[in-house]
Amino acid sequence: MKQITLICAGGLSTSLLASKMKKAAEARGEAIDIRATVVANFPEFEDKTDILLLAPQVGYLAKKMKEKYEPRGIKVAVINSVDYGMMNGEQVLKNVLTM
């Protein structure tokens, strides 16, 4: 099963998007585990993550995260800011699945 972890500064707005993405995944019949957490807590989930998505407000961490996690096989991406603002779970999921 694919595992996606979303991270942001407070873990609040990403948890909103994560629940939207879960609904979108269910509607598509995809078995994907999606969760949201605070940047600092990501190490807890690093072994259980295939794809790491950064909220745009922590997009400045992208380079560091890519250097750290891409060698370990975790795909890292920053969420498109308009999709994030619209809380467009379906679009974000679509982009993730084509990664």
Q: Does 12 bind other proteins (CB under 8 A)?
A: yes
2 or 57: CB nearest other proteins:
57
Scanning the structure block, which residue is given the tokens 């750290």? 68
Contact partners, residue 38, CB within 8 Å, separation at least 6? 7, 8, 9, 10, 11
Total binding residues for other proteins by CB under 8 A?
26
Contact with other proteins (CB under 8 A) among 28, 48, 64, 94: 64
Binding of other proteins by 92 (CB under 8 A): no
Residue 51 as a binder of other proteins (CB under 8 A): the answer is no
76 binds other proteins (CB under 8 A): no
Residue 10 has phi, psi (to 5 degrees) of -110, -5
